[in-house]
Structures are given as C-alpha cells and as structure tokens.
C-alpha cells in the first residue's frame, strides 16, 4: 500500500488560493471552515514564501493520541480520518495539532464546538464509500474513485503534490536538482519526522 | 542563528568561487532564508511558532506550525494521566489505610441527645449545590482523561461517546451553579475561615486524628479552613481557567488555550484528591459529622469535643442556643 502524503513546493506556490476554493467547493465545506489554507511567510520581504497547508496525515498523529473518545483511525494508505459520529467536539485535537488542521462548526451554547471537521485527503470517512451519508458528513471520496485529492490535482503550478510519499518526494527531488534550488518540504519534519534529502 | 547565516554565506561564496570552473547549481534552499526543515527544527527547539499572513477571515489560521502542540500532547497523555492517577488513587489508598488503622472516629460514650444548629438551610443548600456540581464536574472531567482507557473498552465506542457528550454538556452547564456556589460559600464562611494562631496549635496536635486529644477550635478548625480555601482558591482558579476553555479563543490564542487546559486539569485532579479526603471525613471517617450538613443539627457533645470555642460562643449568644430534642 502507498503511504499518502502532501508535499508543498513553496518555490512554486503563487498564493492563488485555488486549492482552498476547490476544497471548499468539492466537499461543500460550511462557512467558516477551511480544511486547507494558504499562509504567506515573510510577506513583502525578501524570501517571501507561500505555503498551502491542511491536515498532513501525520505519522503517529497527535490528534489521534489525545482524542478522549478515540475517534481517529488510520487507513491502509496512512490517511488519518475520524468518525464524526463519535467526536464530541472537545477541541483537544486542535491543541495538539501542529498544523492547526482541525476545524469546528460553531453550534450550540457558548459558541462551543460542534463535531470536528478536517481534511480527509479526499478519502471520506467511515461511512460506506460515496454514499449520501458520507458526502454530508465528510465530503467527496475521490480516493475510492481512484483519484487523488482535488487541491493537488488542480494546482496550476503543481506546487502542491499529493500521492505516495516516496513518489512525490522523488518528483520534488528531481525538480530541485533540475532548477538548482528548493526550500524543502514544509511540515515534513514535524509530520513525518523526516526531510526530503536532495 | 547569526553563526548559521554566516556559515551559509561562506558556503555559498565557496560554491560561487567553484562555479567559475564548472556550472554547479546554487546551494539548495539558499534564496534569502533558511530551508523549511531547518526553520521547522529551529522553531521546534525554541518552542516558537511559524506564522505568516492569511487572506481568510480566521486570523488564527495564520499560524502555519505550532510546535507547542507536542508539549501539550505530552502533558495531556503522560503528565496529567500520572499526576491525576497518583493523586486520586493515592488519596483513596491513604484514606483506606487510615480507615483500617484508625477506624471510624467515634463519639465516646455515645451522643448526649441534645443538639445544636451548626449550619442553617442556606449554608446547607449552597454546600450541596456546590458538592453535587463538583461530583458531576469531576466525573465528567476524569472521563476525558481516563475514560478512553477505563470506560471505552467496557461499554463500546457509541455508548462511550454518548456518555462523554452528555458529560461535556453537563460540564459546561454545571460550571455556572458551581461558580455561583463558590461566591455564596465565600461570603457565608470567609469570616470564620480566616487563619489565626489557634490553627498552628491544631496542626501541632495533629488535629486530634493522632492520639485522642481534641485541640480546641472555633466554628471551623484548621483542617476545615484548609478545605475552605482549597475550595475557594482552587475552585476559583479552576472555574476561571474553565471559562477560557468554554468560550474557545474568545480571549486568548492557542498557547493560552493550552495553558488554560493545563491549569484547569492539574488543579482539578488535586482538588478531587482533597475533596475525597473531605468526603471521607464528613461521612465514613467520623461519626456524627454528617449531621452538620444533613439536618444541620449536631449533637452537643460532638460539638463541644470538636468545636469547643464555637459552642461557648453560641451558648453565650443565646441562652437557649442548645435546644432539647
């Protein structure tokens, strides 16, 4: 089985936010929730970089480790998913997540949290694949259709890569070797405890 | 940092000199800033966040990586579990040892038959409001830390989620009567709970738990004063930190939320341990003690033994203070 990862080549990202928009549209993500976002570092200064970030589907995922109801699971492709029927919206995964991936709809009293929502790597959830129930809760399941996450698929500069970790690391490596520079894979050290050695 | 930059500059200068002979690509990651993995490593070591600018309204999302989540995970999964487990189980063990060695503290020669009012209806009602809220808050709180390991395997995921979900609602809503009760409790009892010189004597004599002497005490003895201040100060801090958590990010950022949780949970498990001792002494540990908070009428002999100065004061206040039953 593949070990699915995201890889963002910040030397290519032009901060068009199309990945954010595509994600929201594909999964009909509610207002106020962004499964993916683009952060610009050193904005307007030398060394400006834009980084598109979502759930990185970590090795030894912190969200899963701290969840009081143990609602997370990892698929055979190493995609970290969660069961919204079990989530109680406590917010602990957001405290533990290094990437700020978990999002919560504001429902109920005290502006407290509803069931957590995050990037599913376009792999849906525990419901039967590509059912209406799965779509309502988690959005589209492109992985079950043999497709990759839409954000990476439609990225115009191919800054955002999704797929098997070894394959996308190889693509990035060849790219860096050809052009002669590369800032590295954002989040890899934190998420996968490894870096893309060129 | 400066040394690293210098090293990078020197390295690139070296490569540039070399490039005159053979066309070598520029050093990787050298476009005016350190590489992603280096920056991540450095921020992780410094405990700082990598932040930038974002165009969506949620400005918190401008934090790209927050390494502090790792420390919070370590605290939540290890430190809290150990401190909480040792505090709660340790206190139960201490109380069990105390019970089996010292036994129930009995009223020698039995009750006198005469009673005196110790707590009025407002004091008792407020006590039980705070107490019942505390028990549910404590159980639903402990469930968030230990339920996954203790209860989840027993009842299964669906039932456990139902319990935890209702526990969360109860935890949120009962925080309000709990906090209100703390304020009322403070106003009702603070005058008699201010520490004084007698408390030192009380502690020196072991509070009467060791040996058979009863150190004299006014309405509250030193031990009860300690429980009072643990409840007011500990409960107050737990409630305050809890309100930061109940209104997520209303007044603080991710670091503040993590800190609030740490204060809230750590003080809570310590308070649970203290309250276990309080519950034990008020019920099983000491004969006749429960009357003070149930009917409010305690046996006069018990009162004289445990709160001699208070009885004298009450007797002095009203000649018919002790009523016959």
Report all structural domains of chain B as residue ranges with CATH numbers, in order of start: 69-317 (1.20.950.20)
For an interface test with A, the pick among B23, B36, B262 (most A C-beta atoms closer than 10 Å) comes out as B36
Nearest CB to A88; choose among B29, B58, B164 = B164
A16 to chain B: closest CA residue? B55
* Interface subset of B 61-90, CB within 8 angstroms of A: 61-67, 69-70, 72-73, 76-77
Q: In this complex, do A86 and B50 lie within 8 Å of one another by their Cβ atoms?
A: no
Indicate yes or no: CB of B61 within 8 angstroms of CB of A190.
no
Partner-chain contact B161 A88, CB within 8 Å: yes
Structure tokens at B70: 């790792």
pLDDT in tens, A109-163: 665 788 999 999 999 999 999 999 999 999 999 999 999 999 999 999 999 999 9
* CB–CB contact A70 B73 (8 Å): no
Query: How many folded domains does chain A comprise?
Result: 1
pLDDT score of B18: 42
Q: Indicate whether A154 belongs to any domain.
A: yes
Q: Do A100 and B60 touch (CB under 8 A)?
A: yes
Domain that holds residue A162: 4-192
Say whether pLDDT at B323 is over 70: no
Percent of chain B with pLDDT over 70: 86
Measure CA of the first residue to CA of the last residue in chain A; give whole Å.
Answer: 24
CA separation, residue B60 to residues A65, B51, B64, B248 (Å): 23, 9, 9, 12
Q: Is A100 left (phi over 0), alpha (psi -120 to 50) or beta?
A: left
pTM for this model (two decimals): 0.88
What pLDDT score does B24 carry? 44
Q: Inter-chain contact B157–A112, Cβ cutoff 8 Å? A: no
User: Residue A38: inside a domain, yes or no?
Assistant: yes
From the list A42, A62, A83, the residue facing B73 with the nearest CB is A62
Comparing CA positions, the residue from B286, B294, B292 lying closest to residue B311 is B292
Contact yes or no for A180 and B32 at CB 8 A: no
The answer as to whether A197 is a domain residue is no
Full 3-state SS string of B211-239: CCCCCCCCCCCHHHHHHHHHHHHHHHHHH
Task: Tally C-beta pairs within 8 A across A and B.
Answer: 180
* Predicted confidence (pLDDT) per residue in A59-105, tens digit: 999 999 999 999 999 999 999 999 999 999 999 999 999 999 999 98
- Tell me, yes or no, whether A21 lies in a domain: yes
Q: Does B26 touch chain A (CB under 8 A)?
A: yes
b/e sequence A123-162, b meaning 16+ C-beta within 10 Å: bbbbbeeeeeebbebbbbbbbeeeebbbbbbebeeebbbb
Which single residue is written with the structure tokens 């004969």? B287
- Residue B106 is predicted with a pLDDT of 85
Averaged pLDDT for residues B206-221: 78
B212 pLDDT tier (thresholds 50, 70, 90): low
Q: How many Å lie between the alpha carbon of B186 and the closest alpha carbon of chain A?
A: 26
Q: B63-96, pLDDT tens digit by residue?
A: 999 999 999 999 999 999 999 999 999 999 999 9
Cβ separation of B64 and A99 shorter than 8 Å?
yes
Residues of A in contact with B52 (CB under 8 A): 39-43, 51
In a domain, A126, yes or no: yes
pLDDT in tens, A167-194: 999 999 999 999 988 888 999 999 999 9
How confident is residue B203, by pLDDT bands cut at 50, 70 and 90?
A: confident
Contact status of B28 with chain A (Cβ, < 8 Å)? yes
Please give the residue of chain B at the shortest CA–CA distance from A115: B165
* pLDDT at residue B17, as a whole number: 42
The 10 Å CB-count burial string (b at 16+, else e) for B23-50 is eeeebebbbebbbbbbbbbebbeeeebb
CATH number at residue A80: 3.30.70.20
**pLDDT tens profile B230-241:** 999 999 999 999
Q: What is the pLDDT of residue B31?
A: 53
């Amino acid at each position: 089985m593949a070990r699915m990862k995201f890889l963002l080549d910040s030397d290519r990202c032009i901060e068009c936010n199309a990945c954010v928009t595509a994600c929201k549209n594909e999964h009909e993500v509610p207002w106020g929730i962004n499964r993916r976002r683009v952060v610009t570092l050193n904005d307007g200064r030398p060394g400006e970089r834009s980084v598109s970030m979502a759930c990185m589907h970590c090795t030894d995922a912190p969200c899963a480790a701290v969840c009081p109801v143990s609602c997370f699971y990892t698929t055979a492709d190493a995609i970290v998913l969660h069961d919204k029927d079990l989530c109680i919206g406590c917010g602990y995964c957001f405290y533990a997540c290094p990437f700020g991936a978990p999002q919560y709809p504001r429902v109920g009293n005290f502006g407290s949290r509803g069931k957590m929502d995050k990037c599913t790597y376009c792999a849906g959830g525990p419901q039967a694949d590509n059912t209406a129930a799965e779509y309502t809760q988690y959005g589209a399941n492109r992985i079950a259709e043999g497709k990759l996450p839409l954000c990476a698929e439609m990225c115009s500069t191919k800054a955002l890569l999704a797929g098997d970790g070894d394959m996308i690391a190889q693509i990035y490596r060849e790219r860096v070797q050809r052009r002669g520079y590369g800032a590295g894979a954002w989040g890899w050290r934190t998420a996968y405890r490894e870096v893309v050695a060129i | 940092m400066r040394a690293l930059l210098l090293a990078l500059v020197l390295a690139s200068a070296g490569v540039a000199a070399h490039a005159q002979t053979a066309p070598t690509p520029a050093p990787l990651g050298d476009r005016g800033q350190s590489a992603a993995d280096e920056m991540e490593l450095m921020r992780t070591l410094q405990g700082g966040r990598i932040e930038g600018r974002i165009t969506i309204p949620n400005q918190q999302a401008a934090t790209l990586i927050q390494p502090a989540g790792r420390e919070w995970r370590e605290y939540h999964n290890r430190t809290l579990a150990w401190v909480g487990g040792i505090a709660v189980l340790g206190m139960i063990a201490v109380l069990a040892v105390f019970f089996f060695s010292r036994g129930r503290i009995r009223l020698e020669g039995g009750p006198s038959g005469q009673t005196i009012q110790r707590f009025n209806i407002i004091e008792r009602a407020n006590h039980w409001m705070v107490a019942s809220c505390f028990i549910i808050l404590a159980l639903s709180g402990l469930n968030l830390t230990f339920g996954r390991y203790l209860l989840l395997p027993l009842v299964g995921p669906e039932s456990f989620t139902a319990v935890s979900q209702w526990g969360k609602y109860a935890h949120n809503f009962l925080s309000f009567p709990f906090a209100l009760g703390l304020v009322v409790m403070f106003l009702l009892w603070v005058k008699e709970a201010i520490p004084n010189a007698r408390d030192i004597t009380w502690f020196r004599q072991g509070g009467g738990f060791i040996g058979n002497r009863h150190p004299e005490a006014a309405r509250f003895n030193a031990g009860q004063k300690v429980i009072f201040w643990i409840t007011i100060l500990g409960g107050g801090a737990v409630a305050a930190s809890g309100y930061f958590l109940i209104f997520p990010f209303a007044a603080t950022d991710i670091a503040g939320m993590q800190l609030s949780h740490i204060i809230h949970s750590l003080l809570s498990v310590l308070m649970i341990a203290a309250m276990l001792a309080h519950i034990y002494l008020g019920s099983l540990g000491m004969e006749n003690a429960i009357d003070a908070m149930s009917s409010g009428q305690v046996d006069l002999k018990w009162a004289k033994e445990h709160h001699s100065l208070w009885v004298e004061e009450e007797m002095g206040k009203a000649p018919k203070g002790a009523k016959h039953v």
